[in-house]
Amino acid sequence: MTKKIIFMGLSALAITLAGCSWTDRQIGPNDYEISGYFDFTMKGEVVVKGLEDQARLYCKGVGQNLVPQVYYITDKNRIFDYEAQRASAVIRFHCIPDNGS
C-alpha cells in the first residue's frame, strides 16, 4: 500500500511539472505500465522520456532502480489539425533492488 501511495504522489508531481496526461496500473508483481500523451509535441520520444522519468521517480521512491521493459510510441504528423498534434506512448517497467552501484 505504501508503494502505491509513493508511486501516485511522485507521479502526480511529475505530471504537474511535465504537463502531460497519463494513466498507470500494476500489471503483475513488480510490473507496471504507464501510458500518457502530450499535447504540445508530435514526437512520441518526448512522451517516452517523461514517462520514463516518472517510472524512475517511482523506483527511486521505493529504493530501487528502474528497468524499462517495452514501450510503444504513436507520433502524430498532421500539422493543420490541432487534435492530431498529440503524441502518445506506453511503457512497461519493473524495479530491481539497488546494489549500491
Write the CATH number for 42: 3.30.980
pLDDT (0 to 100) of residue 92: 92
Domain span holding position 45: 2-97
Mean pLDDT of 38-63: 83
Q: Which residue blocks in the chain are alpha helix, DSSP H? A: 2-18, 44-61
67 to 16, 36, 85: CA distances (angstroms): 24, 18, 29
pLDDT tens readout for residues 4-34: 666 665 555 454 444 455 567 788 888 899 8
In whole angstroms, what is the distance from residue 66 CA to residue 31 CA? 11
In whole angstroms, what is the distance from residue 26 CA to residue 64 CA? 16
Total number of domains in the chain: 1
Nearest in space to 85 (alpha carbons), one of 41, 22, 20, 35: 41
In whole angstroms, what is the distance from residue 58 CA to residue 8 CA? 8
